[in-house]
Amino acid sequence: MGRHFPDDVDVAIVGSGPTGAAYARILSELRPDLRVAMFEVGPAVTDPPGAHVKSIADEDARADAQHRSEGPSSPAADGRLRRAGTFLLADGFQQADEDGIPSVAMSSNVGGMGAHWTCACPRPGDSERITFIPDLDDLLAEAVRLLGVSTDAFDDAPFAHEVRRRLATVFDEGRPAERRVQPMPLAVSVGDDGTVTWSGSDVVFGHVTRNNPRFTLHAEALVRRVLVEDGRVTGLQLIDRTDGTVHEVNAREVVVAADALRTPQLLWASGIRPVALGRYLNDQSQIIHAVRLRDVESTTASRLDPRGRTTVVRQSGVSWVPYTDAEPFHGQVMQLDASPVPLAPGDVPEPGSIVGLGWFCAKELSAEDRVTFDATETDGYGMPAMRVHYLLSEADHAVLDRARDSIKRAAAALGDPLDPEPRTLPLGASLHYQGTVRMGAVDDATTVCDPVSRVWGVDGLRVAGNGVIPTSTACNPTLTSVALAVAGARNIAESLPAARPMQEEVSR
């Protein structure tokens, strides 16, 4: 962490979420000669910086970290669904005669949304996959390494195998092995004493980044312009949010990894406005349901974790019903401790006996689904105000109907539903916004960047995050977006000429 801003760096990274952290990690491993600086608009809310808030043992400290992540103003008090640690778009989230995205939300803190996510890391399948990237599986494997993904962290949970067996009777027939019901890959580790540590950007940074003397992380630094001359990045302009001073940092490469809303916002504010910027915005409509498992024996094993809280997650684990083109939705089956939404409030008679189901639906892509920016009005950070244009198509409604039927069949196989019908959450509740700086094989006005995330027409500028994903997906996007960040970082490592020595080395 640093308060002094450098004058010159080789690579400047805007945003400290998992994809920005992936750039820092890969560059620290492959090009330790490069000077890399990261700038985050929010504060550091954990120690180490970028850790997942669920790993904070003290509940009051955890709540404070979440509150400090909630942006420049108080969350809207208008009844819209909001997850702790995030803040809602104050206005502009819905236009006349459109569905909008009422629960569209962001986080501002070191680690970004990686400090608050559910850590689910499924691989994309069928049409979710990006076909013009031939080494996608290698990149996904590297993302697994960086995020610390495990498929067996909760494999000893007493109800996990039974839950998957029951789900398999409904979904496995006719599916290839890799698309059958299976444990959900999770970015999590479980210690010998049962301590559960959820991965945040701190895990992605790793020791190699933290020990890199040429890497610096600057919190509470609002980057408001990417500087460009003659079609080439020269650096960025930022405001120190602790004292309001303005600074410029020269950089040979700039990576904007803010999020799927603020990355296009920064490009637009910088006068970088490709035709596809902000377009093809897509969210994953989410349906939830809850059941009580039938015919399972009570167990006293692993009911309490070292922090004294009920560890429901170790009772039924987290299972995955993968996306297929035939069934264009993706299912997460988890106990309530791992769910971002309180599915079954009230008494839970036996730990692990109440299971939450969440089905995520792929969206039909449209250039008209977009986020635009106002030339005169500003948001709480003084950046161009956002306006979301978003409409569910007939095909989207048809997928939602099929997903409701699917989740009801899953619930019936598992046990007794707690409510007669599943609940469809407000748009935006998934937090899986994608497409706004989408990647493509060619510059054809439907994409913003190339397969290694270089923005078309601006040398030295790259984008990162879920907004880069060009396909319609139902699976959680973080693993894919980190994989794409790996490709971009490797390309920088291969192509950027050797760095000049740091000033202190020259003086010696």
Tell me if 402 sits within 8 A of 410, measured CB to CB: no
Catalytic residues: 432
Q: How far, in Å, CA of 202 to CA of 112, rounded?
A: 11
Tell me if 170 sits within 8 A of 161, measured CB to CB: no
Q: Which residues lie closer than 8 Å to 273 by C-beta, 6 or more apart? A: 267
Distance of CA 192 to the CA centre of its chain: 28
Q: How far, in Å, CA of 239 to CA of 244, rounded?
A: 6
User: Which residues is 282 bridged to in the sheet?
Assistant: 434
Q: How far, in Å, CA of 24 to CA of 114, rounded?
A: 15
Dig out the tokens for 194 from the structure. 């049962």
Q: How many CB atoms lie within 10 A of CB 145?
A: 13
Q: What are phi and psi of 27, to 5 degrees?
A: -65, -35
Q: How far, in Å, CA of 421 to CA of 75, rounded?
A: 30
User: In Å, how far are 282, 318, 363, 404, 472 from 399, measured between CA atoms?
Assistant: 14, 24, 9, 9, 13
Dig out the tokens for 251 from the structure. 């950089």
Q: Which residues lie closer than 8 Å to 166 by C-beta, 6 or more apart? A: 413, 414
Tell me if 232 sits within 8 A of 252, measured CB to CB: no
